[in-house]
Protein backbone atom coordinates (compact mmCIF):
# COMPACT_ATOMS: atom_id res chain seq x y z
CA UNK A 1 0.00 0.00 0.00
CA UNK A 2 1.49 3.32 -1.08
CA UNK A 3 1.34 6.21 1.42
CA UNK A 4 -1.42 8.80 1.05
CA UNK A 5 -0.42 12.15 -0.47
CA UNK A 6 -2.16 15.51 -0.56
CA UNK A 7 -1.48 17.95 -3.37
CA UNK A 8 -2.29 21.66 -3.07
CA UNK A 9 -2.64 23.41 -6.43
CA UNK A 10 -4.31 21.90 -9.50
CA UNK A 11 -2.82 24.15 -12.16
CA UNK A 12 -1.14 22.59 -15.20
CA UNK A 13 1.77 21.24 -13.18
CA UNK A 14 -0.10 20.34 -9.97
CA UNK A 15 -2.65 18.33 -11.99
CA UNK A 16 0.17 16.41 -13.70
CA UNK A 17 1.75 15.68 -10.30
CA UNK A 18 -1.54 14.39 -8.88
CA UNK A 19 -2.21 12.20 -11.95
CA UNK A 20 1.29 10.67 -11.63
CA UNK A 21 0.72 9.92 -7.92
CA UNK A 22 -2.60 8.23 -8.69
CA UNK A 23 -0.94 6.22 -11.44
CA UNK A 24 1.73 5.06 -8.97
CA UNK A 25 -1.01 3.86 -6.61
CA UNK A 26 -0.89 6.62 -3.97
CA UNK A 27 -4.26 7.46 -2.41
CA UNK A 28 -4.32 11.13 -3.41
CA UNK A 29 -6.22 14.07 -1.99
CA UNK A 30 -6.27 17.29 -3.98
CA UNK A 31 -7.26 20.88 -3.32
CA UNK A 32 -7.41 23.89 -5.61
CA UNK A 33 -8.49 27.48 -5.02
CA UNK A 34 -10.73 27.27 -8.08
CA UNK A 35 -12.56 23.99 -7.34
CA UNK A 36 -13.55 23.24 -10.97
CA UNK A 37 -9.90 22.47 -11.85
CA UNK A 38 -9.94 19.54 -9.41
CA UNK A 39 -12.82 17.81 -11.25
CA UNK A 40 -10.63 15.81 -13.70
CA UNK A 41 -8.63 14.51 -10.73
CA UNK A 42 -11.80 13.44 -8.96
CA UNK A 43 -12.79 11.58 -12.14
CA UNK A 44 -9.37 9.87 -12.08
CA UNK A 45 -9.88 8.67 -8.51
CA UNK A 46 -8.57 11.47 -6.27
CA UNK A 47 -10.38 12.71 -3.18
CA UNK A 48 -11.18 16.43 -3.40
CA UNK A 49 -10.71 18.25 -0.10
CA UNK A 50 -13.11 21.05 0.75
CA UNK A 51 -10.37 23.13 2.40
CA UNK A 52 -6.59 23.37 2.70
CA UNK A 53 -6.93 22.30 6.33
CA UNK A 54 -8.79 19.11 5.29
CA UNK A 55 -6.22 18.36 2.58
CA UNK A 56 -3.35 18.71 5.07
CA UNK A 57 -5.18 16.53 7.62
CA UNK A 58 -5.76 13.78 5.02
CA UNK A 59 -2.10 12.75 4.44
CA UNK A 60 1.30 12.63 6.11
CA UNK A 61 2.88 14.01 2.92
CA UNK A 62 1.75 17.38 1.52
CA UNK A 63 2.97 18.48 -1.91
CA UNK A 64 2.51 22.14 -2.79
CA UNK A 65 2.52 23.40 -6.37
CA UNK A 66 1.05 26.86 -6.82
CA UNK A 67 2.28 29.87 -8.77
CA UNK A 68 4.80 31.28 -6.26
CA UNK A 69 5.91 31.19 -2.59
CA UNK A 70 3.60 34.06 -1.72
CA UNK A 71 0.67 31.87 -2.78
CA UNK A 72 2.07 28.96 -0.73
CA UNK A 73 2.36 31.23 2.30
CA UNK A 74 -1.22 32.43 1.92
CA UNK A 75 -2.31 28.75 2.08
CA UNK A 76 -0.07 27.30 4.79
CA UNK A 77 0.47 30.27 7.13
CA UNK A 78 -3.09 30.28 8.27
CA UNK A 79 -3.34 29.44 11.99
CA UNK A 80 -5.55 26.37 11.56
CA UNK A 81 -3.57 24.97 8.63
CA UNK A 82 -0.20 25.59 10.32
CA UNK A 83 -1.47 23.73 13.39
CA UNK A 84 -2.33 20.69 11.24
CA UNK A 85 1.16 20.54 9.70
CA UNK A 86 2.89 19.16 12.79
CA UNK A 87 4.53 15.81 11.97
CA UNK A 88 3.86 16.17 8.23
CA UNK A 89 6.36 16.09 5.37
CA UNK A 90 5.95 19.18 3.17
CA UNK A 91 7.39 18.91 -0.35
CA UNK A 92 7.36 22.38 -1.90
CA UNK A 93 7.48 22.02 -5.70
CA UNK A 94 6.49 25.62 -6.45
CA UNK A 95 9.29 27.54 -8.19
CA UNK A 96 11.08 30.10 -6.02
CA UNK A 97 14.35 31.65 -4.90
CA UNK A 98 17.08 30.00 -2.79
CA UNK A 99 16.33 32.33 0.13
CA UNK A 100 12.62 31.61 -0.22
CA UNK A 101 13.36 27.87 0.16
CA UNK A 102 15.59 28.47 3.20
CA UNK A 103 13.03 30.69 4.90
CA UNK A 104 10.22 28.19 4.24
CA UNK A 105 12.34 25.35 5.64
CA UNK A 106 12.90 27.32 8.87
CA UNK A 107 9.20 28.14 9.13
CA UNK A 108 8.18 24.49 8.56
CA UNK A 109 10.61 23.33 11.25
CA UNK A 110 9.02 25.76 13.69
CA UNK A 111 5.63 24.16 12.95
CA UNK A 112 7.10 20.70 13.74
CA UNK A 113 7.00 19.68 10.05
CA UNK A 114 9.75 18.19 7.88
CA UNK A 115 10.48 20.03 4.63
CA UNK A 116 11.99 19.42 1.21
CA UNK A 117 12.30 22.07 -1.47
CA UNK A 118 12.10 20.93 -5.06
CA UNK A 119 12.37 22.51 -8.48
CA UNK A 120 10.81 20.86 -11.51
CA UNK A 121 12.97 20.95 -14.62
CA UNK A 122 10.27 19.59 -16.89
CA UNK A 123 6.98 20.50 -18.51
CA UNK A 124 3.81 18.73 -17.26
CA UNK A 125 3.93 16.12 -20.06
CA UNK A 126 7.24 14.81 -18.63
CA UNK A 127 5.82 14.29 -15.12
CA UNK A 128 5.57 10.62 -14.18
CA UNK A 129 7.91 9.59 -17.03
CA UNK A 130 11.51 8.34 -16.87
CA UNK A 131 12.71 11.65 -18.36
CA UNK A 132 10.99 13.82 -15.72
CA UNK A 133 13.67 15.79 -13.83
CA UNK A 134 13.21 17.13 -10.30
CA UNK A 135 15.95 18.82 -8.26
CA UNK A 136 15.50 18.41 -4.51
CA UNK A 137 17.28 19.91 -1.50
CA UNK A 138 16.86 19.71 2.26
CA UNK A 139 17.99 17.38 5.06
CA UNK A 140 19.24 14.12 3.51
CA UNK A 141 17.30 11.95 5.99
CA UNK A 142 14.10 13.75 4.95
CA UNK A 143 15.00 13.26 1.28
CA UNK A 144 15.32 9.51 1.91
CA UNK A 145 11.86 9.59 3.45
CA UNK A 146 10.44 11.37 0.39
CA UNK A 147 12.42 9.47 -2.26
CA UNK A 148 9.68 6.97 -3.12
CA UNK A 149 7.01 9.66 -3.56
CA UNK A 150 9.35 11.84 -5.62
CA UNK A 151 10.21 8.81 -7.76
CA UNK A 152 6.57 8.61 -8.83
CA UNK A 153 6.86 12.15 -10.25
CA UNK A 154 9.89 11.59 -12.47
CA UNK A 155 12.61 9.09 -13.23
CA UNK A 156 15.39 11.64 -12.78
CA UNK A 157 15.13 12.89 -9.18
CA UNK A 158 18.39 14.52 -8.09
CA UNK A 159 19.31 15.30 -4.50
CA UNK A 160 21.27 18.56 -4.72
CA UNK A 161 22.27 19.03 -1.07
CA UNK A 162 21.29 19.67 2.53
CA UNK A 163 20.89 23.43 2.09
CA UNK A 164 17.17 23.80 1.23
CA UNK A 165 17.94 26.73 -1.10
CA UNK A 166 20.10 24.70 -3.49
CA UNK A 167 17.36 23.18 -5.66
CA UNK A 168 16.01 26.65 -6.51
CA UNK A 169 19.55 27.97 -7.03
CA UNK A 170 20.42 25.24 -9.54
CA UNK A 171 17.02 25.63 -11.20
CA UNK A 172 17.76 29.33 -11.82
CA UNK A 173 21.24 28.49 -13.14
CA UNK A 174 19.79 25.99 -15.64
CA UNK A 175 17.07 28.46 -16.65
CA UNK A 176 19.78 31.07 -17.32
CA UNK A 177 21.30 28.58 -19.76
CA UNK A 178 17.95 27.82 -21.34
CA UNK A 179 16.99 31.46 -21.79
CA UNK A 180 20.40 32.16 -23.31
CA UNK A 181 19.42 29.70 -26.05
CA UNK A 182 15.81 30.91 -26.34
CA UNK A 183 16.63 34.62 -26.50
CA UNK A 184 19.47 33.76 -28.88
CA UNK A 185 16.88 32.05 -31.08
CA UNK A 186 14.72 35.21 -31.00
CA UNK A 187 17.69 37.19 -32.32
CA UNK A 188 18.34 34.57 -35.02
CA UNK A 189 14.72 34.76 -36.13
CA UNK A 190 14.91 38.57 -36.31
CA UNK A 191 18.09 38.40 -38.41
CA UNK A 192 16.56 35.81 -40.78
CA UNK A 193 13.40 37.86 -41.20
CA UNK A 194 15.40 41.03 -41.87
CA UNK A 195 17.52 39.22 -44.47
CA UNK A 196 14.58 37.27 -46.00
CA UNK A 197 15.97 33.87 -44.98
CA UNK A 198 13.23 31.25 -44.69
CA UNK A 199 12.81 30.13 -41.06
CA UNK A 200 12.79 26.51 -42.28
CA UNK A 201 16.41 27.07 -43.32
CA UNK A 202 17.19 28.35 -39.82
CA UNK A 203 15.49 25.29 -38.30
CA UNK A 204 17.69 22.95 -40.35
CA UNK A 205 20.79 24.96 -39.49
CA UNK A 206 19.96 24.77 -35.78
CA UNK A 207 19.80 20.98 -36.00
CA UNK A 208 23.26 20.98 -37.58
CA UNK A 209 24.72 23.55 -35.17
CA UNK A 210 23.22 22.33 -31.87
CA UNK A 211 25.94 19.67 -31.27
CA UNK A 212 28.63 22.32 -31.82
CA UNK A 213 26.95 24.66 -29.31
CA UNK A 214 26.55 21.78 -26.84
CA UNK A 215 30.27 21.01 -27.14
CA UNK A 216 31.19 24.67 -26.59
CA UNK A 217 28.95 24.98 -23.51
CA UNK A 218 30.33 21.76 -21.97
CA UNK A 219 33.89 22.94 -22.63
CA UNK A 220 33.14 26.38 -21.12
CA UNK A 221 31.74 24.82 -17.92
CA UNK A 222 34.65 22.36 -17.64
CA UNK A 223 37.32 25.03 -18.15
CA UNK A 224 35.60 27.47 -15.77
CA UNK A 225 35.44 24.76 -13.07
CA UNK A 226 39.17 24.17 -13.48
CA UNK A 227 40.03 27.89 -13.78
CA UNK A 228 41.75 27.19 -17.14
CA UNK A 229 41.37 30.69 -18.62
CA UNK A 230 44.66 31.03 -20.53
CA UNK A 231 44.56 29.84 -24.13
CA UNK A 232 46.25 26.46 -24.48
CA UNK A 233 46.52 23.58 -26.97
CA UNK A 234 42.96 22.49 -26.17
CA UNK A 235 41.39 25.93 -26.53
CA UNK A 236 38.55 25.76 -29.06
CA UNK A 237 38.50 29.54 -29.59
CA UNK A 238 39.87 32.56 -27.81
CA UNK A 239 37.91 35.76 -27.06
CA UNK A 240 39.31 37.50 -30.16
CA UNK A 241 37.52 35.58 -33.00
CA UNK A 242 34.28 35.60 -30.98
CA UNK A 243 34.51 39.37 -30.60
CA UNK A 244 35.10 39.93 -34.35
CA UNK A 245 32.21 37.66 -35.34
CA UNK A 246 30.05 39.33 -32.69
CA UNK A 247 30.69 42.69 -34.36
CA UNK A 248 29.54 41.35 -37.72
CA UNK A 249 26.25 40.46 -36.03
CA UNK A 250 25.99 43.87 -34.32
CA UNK A 251 26.69 45.70 -37.60
CA UNK A 252 24.02 43.65 -39.39
CA UNK A 253 21.50 44.28 -36.61
CA UNK A 254 22.22 48.00 -36.62
CA UNK A 255 21.88 48.19 -40.41
CA UNK A 256 18.53 46.39 -40.29
CA UNK A 257 17.17 48.20 -37.22
CA UNK A 258 17.01 45.03 -35.08
CA UNK A 259 16.69 45.47 -31.31
CA UNK A 260 20.17 45.34 -29.75
CA UNK A 261 19.23 45.30 -26.05
CA UNK A 262 20.68 41.81 -25.64
CA UNK A 263 23.81 42.37 -27.69
CA UNK A 264 24.42 45.53 -25.61
CA UNK A 265 24.85 43.22 -22.61
CA UNK A 266 27.21 40.93 -24.53
CA UNK A 267 29.28 43.97 -25.58
CA UNK A 268 29.64 45.12 -21.95
CA UNK A 269 30.94 41.72 -20.86
CA UNK A 270 33.33 41.43 -23.82
CA UNK A 271 34.66 44.93 -23.06
CA UNK A 272 35.24 44.19 -19.38
CA UNK A 273 37.29 41.11 -20.23
CA UNK A 274 39.21 42.73 -23.10
CA UNK A 275 40.08 45.81 -21.01
CA UNK A 276 41.43 43.44 -18.36
CA UNK A 277 43.74 41.91 -21.00
CA UNK A 278 41.90 38.70 -21.96
CA UNK A 279 41.50 39.22 -25.75
CA UNK A 280 43.71 36.24 -26.56
CA UNK A 281 42.66 34.06 -23.62
CA UNK A 282 40.18 31.21 -23.80
CA UNK A 283 36.52 32.28 -24.10
CA UNK A 284 36.05 30.78 -20.60
CA UNK A 285 37.99 33.77 -19.22
CA UNK A 286 34.75 35.78 -19.64
CA UNK A 287 33.23 33.78 -16.77
CA UNK A 288 35.39 35.81 -14.37
CA UNK A 289 33.58 38.99 -15.41
CA UNK A 290 30.00 37.90 -14.69
CA UNK A 291 30.11 37.98 -10.89
CA UNK A 292 30.00 41.77 -10.75
CA UNK A 293 27.45 44.41 -11.70
CA UNK A 294 27.97 46.42 -14.90
P1 LIG B 1 -0.76 27.42 -13.49
O2 LIG B 1 -1.34 26.42 -14.43
O3 LIG B 1 -0.92 28.87 -13.78
O4 LIG B 1 -1.34 27.11 -12.04
C5 LIG B 1 -1.12 27.96 -10.95
C6 LIG B 1 -1.72 27.34 -9.72
O7 LIG B 1 -1.47 28.18 -8.59
C8 LIG B 1 -3.25 27.17 -9.80
O9 LIG B 1 -3.63 26.00 -9.13
C10 LIG B 1 -3.73 28.42 -9.07
O11 LIG B 1 -5.02 28.30 -8.51
C12 LIG B 1 -2.71 28.45 -7.95
N13 LIG B 1 -2.63 29.75 -7.26
C14 LIG B 1 -2.08 30.90 -7.71
N15 LIG B 1 -2.21 31.87 -6.78
C16 LIG B 1 -2.82 31.30 -5.71
C17 LIG B 1 -3.21 31.79 -4.44
N18 LIG B 1 -2.97 33.04 -4.06
N19 LIG B 1 -3.82 30.93 -3.61
C20 LIG B 1 -4.07 29.64 -3.97
N21 LIG B 1 -3.72 29.12 -5.16
C22 LIG B 1 -3.09 29.95 -6.02
O23 LIG B 1 0.82 27.22 -13.32
P24 LIG B 1 1.65 25.86 -13.44
O25 LIG B 1 2.20 25.77 -14.81
O26 LIG B 1 0.86 24.75 -12.91
O27 LIG B 1 2.88 26.19 -12.47
C28 LIG B 1 2.82 25.96 -11.09
C29 LIG B 1 4.22 25.96 -10.51
O30 LIG B 1 5.01 24.96 -11.16
C31 LIG B 1 4.96 27.30 -10.71
O32 LIG B 1 5.75 27.59 -9.59
C33 LIG B 1 5.82 27.01 -11.92
O34 LIG B 1 6.97 27.83 -11.97
C35 LIG B 1 6.19 25.55 -11.67
N36 LIG B 1 6.63 24.90 -12.91
C37 LIG B 1 5.79 24.84 -13.98
C38 LIG B 1 6.23 24.25 -15.16
C39 LIG B 1 5.37 24.15 -16.38
O40 LIG B 1 5.87 23.76 -17.45
N41 LIG B 1 4.07 24.45 -16.30
C42 LIG B 1 7.55 23.73 -15.23
C43 LIG B 1 8.37 23.80 -14.10
C44 LIG B 1 7.90 24.39 -12.94
P45 LIG B 1 -6.31 28.70 -9.41
O46 LIG B 1 -6.55 27.53 -10.33
O47 LIG B 1 -7.36 28.93 -8.41
O48 LIG B 1 -5.93 29.96 -10.17
pTM to 2 decimals?
0.92
Three-class SS of residue 19?
A: helix
Regions of the chain with pLDDT less than 50: none
pLDDT confidence of residue 110 = 97
Q: Residue 131 in contact with residue 155, Cβ under 8 Å?
A: yes
The protein residue with its alpha carbon nearest to ligand 1, atom 4, reads: 11
C-alpha 29 – ligand 1 centre gap (Å): 17
| Residue with CA closest to ligand 1 atom 43 | 120
Substitution candidate for ligand 1 out of 10, 30, 53, 67 with most atoms within 8 A of CB: 67
Backbone angles phi, psi at 87, to 5 degrees: 80, -5
Cα–Cα distance measured from residue 37 to residue 11, given in angstroms and rounded to the nearest whole number: 7
Give CA separation, 278 vs 33, 247, 260, in Å: 54, 17, 24
Asked whether the beta carbons of 66 and 11 are under 8 A apart, the reply is yes
Atom in ligand 1 nearest the alpha carbon of residue 94: 32
Q: Which of 11, 14, 127 has the most ligand 1 atoms within 8 A of CB, as the residue to mutate? A: 11
Which residues, including other chains, have CB under 8 Å from residue 28's CB and lie 6 or more apart? 4, 5, 6, 7, 18, 21, 22, 41, 45, 46, 47
Amino acid 293: pLDDT? 60
* Predicted confidence (pLDDT) per residue in 124-165, tens digit: 999 999 999 999 999 999 999 999 999 999 999 999 999 999
CB atoms within 10 A of CB 155: 14
Amino acid sequence: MQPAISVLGMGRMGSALAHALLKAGHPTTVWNRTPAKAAPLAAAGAEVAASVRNAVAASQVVIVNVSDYQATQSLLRDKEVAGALEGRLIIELTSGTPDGGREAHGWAQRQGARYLDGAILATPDFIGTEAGTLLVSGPSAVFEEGRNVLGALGGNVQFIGEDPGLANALDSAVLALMWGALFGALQSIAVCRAEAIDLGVLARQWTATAPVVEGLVSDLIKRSAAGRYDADAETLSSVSPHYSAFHHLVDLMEARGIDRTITGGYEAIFRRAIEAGHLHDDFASLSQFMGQPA
